Structure 1
Amino acid sequence: MQTKTIAVDGIPMRWLEDGAGDGLPVVMIHGIPTSPALWREVMPRVTGGRCLAWEMVGYGGSMDAGRDRDISVAAQAGYLLDWMDELALGRAILCGHDLGGGVAQIAAVRRPEACAGLLLTNAICYDSWPIPSVKSMRAMGGALEHVPDGMLKPMLAMFYKRGHDDDEAARAALQAHWPHYQAQDGAAAFVRQMKALNVEDTKAVADRLPTLKVPARVVWGDDDQFQKLAYGERLARDLGAPLRHIPGGKHFTPEDHPDVLAEELNALIAEVHRTEEP
């Protein structure tokens, strides 16, 4: 697995890449407060394809690139498509979690020809977000921006703990994602991320989801308190997609249940190939 960087219209963009092959690439998109490392256990389990876990601008190792830029979910969809163009990916299977699921939905609606398939897991959608705890932190505004690392780290640790199935997985998430905040003026970056959240971004494409007509799958942790199961059920209906329940699963499914995500991705890849056979 390699970390790669390229400048796209003057914006440094990073991603993790694993695998190779001539098949359609799989583009994975993380959410908040994570990074492409969210997919670290899923990528090696995806067979027969090239996996690219794209880093949203202003997140992960690219937090500094988010200064004075629009880092809303809608803007991220544009950055994603520009990055795909720069890499000449053409069409790809889009796989999104949390905010990344919203990015995938918007990108697919904006440019259906770029989306060969769609997998969404515990993703923002419709009016499901921002969640109450994020709204509360966002309301703190400038005060939170100046919180020292010694206070921000426990806040994020608690967020991970609420969203993972067990404490060990939550600790692993903190170890994977916290260093980016620690290295890049994390409190200010976190505030920028939260201030950019706008539910109108997903509401604007909600009525277009049933028109996508691409192979799709929805995977949901049934006990997610951030993105409730009812939203996953609605996505599955609108996309005409099967819904894979994860009983007892919470929010961060790619880290807690990489086998399930990889199994569904592999099934989606096979389905896309079948539909495109001459």
Structure 2
Amino acid sequence: MPERRPESRTTTIEGTPLRWLEQPASEDRSGVPVVLVHGIPTSSALWRHVVPLLPGLGVLVPEMTGYGDSIPAGAGRDIGLAAQADRLLAWLDGRGVREAVLVGHDLGGGVVQIMAVRRPELCAGLLLTNAVGYDSWPVPSVKVLAAARGLVARLPGRVVTSSLAGLFVRGHDNAATAAESRRTHMRPYLEHGAGPALARQVASLDVRDTLEVSPRLAELRVPARVMWGDADPFQKVEYGERFADDLRVPLHRIEGGRHFTPEDHPDVLAAHVLDLHREVVQRRR
């Protein structure tokens, strides 16, 4: 049987277009989809190697407003983490999703933390991988971009994408994957105005979004996983240890792994997602 590709869909949430990829459930009857949320400077394409390794599960892969091919929708809108979380919660409500396994990487990890704390009844399970949280972000290089966002907005697209190249080199432990990742994620920037897009993204980053919810992470009573590339130069493994402590789970280290775990280690990540989903389903029986 040929592999089914995720379907691209679009809706509107309070006047804001929202795009996502959807893999309909073909075997799982639990009614608990997996929601995969990306970070910066990526898009829903971050999970392109993970979704095929989740056969049978219902999988929803939203694209945050102002990122990827949703860059144009970010103009004039709040694209901070708290606003993204509220938008995704409204989207899930509109789809009739009552429970979901929330998976987040980088900024997406911050978004799913906010979602889980604000709506614990929706969060059936939580997986964080090299996620922002507490006071771990924005990282120094992004702070520099934010401080110079007026200049960044005026730079030619190729200059902007070249300046981001170092993030991919430093953030991957596989050179070939880093090159593929850069090509994948820089395409939307070049097509939709790299300078203004990046300027809006970095201007929206506010550490208070995660500091506000971090004291309540330990109150969550859900199955959880924390998976970390322990050589991540951006989100240090010490923060992974802190998440694991708050969520009362072991830290699953990827020795020598760096930041972009969904791209460098999709098999490991998919295995943890499948294991977490099984636990969620077993608890509901």
Q: TM-score range by the shorter chain?
A: over 0.9
Q: Which residue of 2 aligns with 1:243?
A: 251
2:80 to 72, 80, 83: 72
Query: Structure 1 stretch 160-169 or stretch 257-266: which is displaced more?
Result: 160-169
Corresponding position: 1:8 with 2:16:
no
The answer to whether the 8 Å contact 2:161/2:194 transfers is no
Provide the residue aligned with 1:172 in structure 2. 180
Checking the alignment, whether the CA contact within 8 Å between 1:216 and 1:242 is kept in structure 2 is no
Q: Secondary structure at the match of 2:144?
A: helix
Is 1:156 aligned to 2:164, yes or no?
yes
Measured against aligned partners, the alpha-carbon deviations of 1:164-187 in whole angstroms (never above 9, x if no partner) come to 112211111112111111111111
* Match in the other structure for 1:55: 63
RMSD of aligned alpha carbons: 1.0
| Farther-moved stretch of structure 1 (106-115 vs 235-244) | 235-244
Larger mean CA deviation between 10-19 and 196-205 belongs to 10-19
**Could you say what secondary structure the match of 1:219 adopts?**
strand
Deviates more, 1:116-125 or 1:85-94: 85-94
Q: In the alignment, residue 6 of structure 1 is paired with which amino acid?
A: T
Q: Decide which of 137, 147, 155 is 2:145's aligned counterpart.
A: 137
- CA deviations 1:21-68 (Å, max 9, x no partner) are 433100000000000000011111114311111111111111111111
1:78 partner SS: helix
Deviations 1:77-121 (A, max 9, x none): 100101101111221000000000000000000010111000000
Q: Count the aligned residue pairs.
A: 277
Match of 2:271?
A: 263
The answer on 1:232 being equivalent to 2:212 is: no
Unaligned runs of 5+ in 2: 1-5
Query: Is the partner of 1:162 in helix, strand or coil?
Result: helix
Partner of 1:188: 196
Moved over 4 A (4+): none
Aligned to 1:25: 33
- Letter paired with 2:8: T
- Percent identity, aligned pairs only? 51
1:209-220 residue pairs with structure 2 within 5 A? 209-220=217-228
Amino acid at match of 1:168: A
Post-superposition CA distance 1:132-166 (Å, at most 9, x none): 01011111121111110121121122211110112
Partners of 1:260 and 1:107 in 2: CA distance: 24
Does the CA contact (< 8 Å) of 1:157 and 1:171 recur in 2?
no
Q: Where do 1:111-126 residues align within 5 Å? A: 111-126=119-134
For structure 1, list consecutive stretches of 5 or more residues without a partner in the other structure.
none
In the superposition, the TM-score normalised over structure 1's length comes to 0.97
